[in-house]
Amino acid sequence: MLCGVLLSAYPAVTFVRGGVNTVFALLLLLSLWMLVYLRGQARDDPATRMWVVVYAAAMASMPLAVLCSEWARSEWIGRYFDAPSRFLLAVPVFLALRRLPTRHWRWLGLGFAAGALYAAGAVLFDPFDYGPGRPGLYFLYPIPFGDLALIIGVLAAMSVDWVGRDRPWERVFKYLALLGGGLASVLSASRGGWVAVPFLGLWWLWFRRDRLSLRMMLALVVGAAALAGAAYGLVPTIHQRIDLIGSNLLAFDHGDPNTSIGLRFQLWRAAWWLFWQHPWFGVGPEGFRLAMPMLQHMGVLSPLAAQIGMAENEIIAKAVQNGLPGLLSVLSVYVVPFVLFLRRSEHSDAVRRRAARMGVVLVSAFFIFGLTVEIFVLTMLSAFYALSCAVLLAVVLRSDAAD
């Protein structure tokens, strides 16, 4: 019972300050107790045991990369392990939850729905102004806020009829959450999240390819394109933010490096250059920011770009901060869960199959989000991603002794 409550609580309180980390800590304590006192013999085949080890190694690689980087620089600063530690701490949660029977997962979808609707309500009735047309929460700026609200809403809708047939009010609640998450994303004006939408739509079509005829799939694609066109024409926020992409690229091509896109191009190029200067262990979590004056003096960065101090890309950031171990670690926390989810996305068991498909969408979305922002620099986002992967993988790789 307690596990079910905590599983529904962590997505529900995502947009409450400290909510995800608090529930994460409680789940971790409960999981450690389960692993110590409820020692059931897991009946896993060798392939499953191998993947469990691979997953655990991938999650451990993130704090290990920071450790290697700090060892190489003889610099020991504990706070740099804060966000990366969430990946490692998710492993015992995964191991413990694998032993739970199916009924404990029923409320997770409602938790996602509650979180997405809370996000919509927060940005509508209590927004924090980060600039013209860019609302967020007082502790979460618009880009991660909009991205997180979007994926939580999508996961809520994907959980319809996941563990048995939902009651009518549950279905309505979850589909409203999809609208709520989308609304929060639109209001945040975060284009990086919008880029993920067509890819998530393609996954939706792929997972239903056996149920939909080619004609129906084409009709859905045309309908989605028409809906996107209508949104562009009727919603000022979408219209303005999309138009800025073209104007930003044109300005950059004409020699103006200080547009939103131009600044990112500069930062990516500078970070890669710095990575190749320090490929083995990187320059440390603060190294890129501290190198800004030098990079500006060299002409690699404009004065405005030098004020940002972040790589604005998760993969590039981990590479420049922690060198090759950092690059491999961030790729592993994407690739390993994605492969595991994708391999089980056609599983004969409906509950595992749906969990695997939700996992594919989760990892795909976070990967796309991380292309234009450092998504794991915030502890709450690291905690949400690591915990969500652990929870869904616990269903996908559930022990045969669980039911």
Residue 95 counted as domain residue: yes
- Model confidence at 41, pLDDT cuts 50, 70, 90, reads low
Pairing of strands 135-136, 128-129: antiparallel
Quote the CA–CA distance of 274 and 287 in Å, as a whole number: 9
Residue 253 counted as domain residue: no
Residue 238 counted as domain residue: yes
Residue 153 counted as domain residue: yes
Residue 272 counted as domain residue: no
Contacting residues for 309 by C-beta, under 8 A, at least 6 apart: 288, 289, 292
Give the total number of structural domains in the chain. 1
Asked whether the predicted pLDDT for residue 314 surpasses 90, the reply is: yes
CA-based nearest residue to 143, from 181, 188, 198: 188
249-275 average pLDDT score: 86
Quote the CA–CA distance of 166 and 153 in Å, as a whole number: 17
For residue 198, give its domain range. Answer: 2-35+42-221+228-242+311-396
Asked whether the predicted pLDDT for residue 42 surpasses 80, the reply is: no
Which pLDDT value is given to residue 119?
96
Contacting residues for 244 by C-beta, under 8 A, at least 6 apart: 259, 260
Structure-token pair, residue 59: 């999650």
Residue 275 counted as domain residue: no
CA dist list (Å): 58 to 80, 120, 205, 307, 335 = 18, 34, 29, 33, 9
- Model confidence at 326, pLDDT cuts 50, 70, 90, reads very high
3-state helix/strand/coil string of 125-148: HCCEECCCCCEEECCECHHHHHHH
**Are residues 322 and 66 in contact, defined by beta-carbon separation less than 8 angstroms?**
yes
Q: pLDDT tens digits, residue range 65-105?
A: 999 999 988 888 878 899 999 999 999 999 999 888 877 78
366-378 average pLDDT score: 94
Quote the CA–CA distance of 169 and 165 in Å, as a whole number: 12
Q: pLDDT tens digits, residue range 136-191?
A: 898 999 999 999 999 999 999 999 999 888 899 999 999 999 999 999 999 998 88
pTM of the model: 0.95
283-304 average pLDDT score: 89
28-33 average pLDDT score: 93
Quote the CA–CA distance of 278 and 322 in Å, as a whole number: 9
Asked whether the predicted pLDDT for residue 403 surpasses 60, the reply is: no
287-291 average pLDDT score: 90
Residue 282 counted as domain residue: no
More confident residue, 267 or 2: 267
Residue 305 counted as domain residue: no
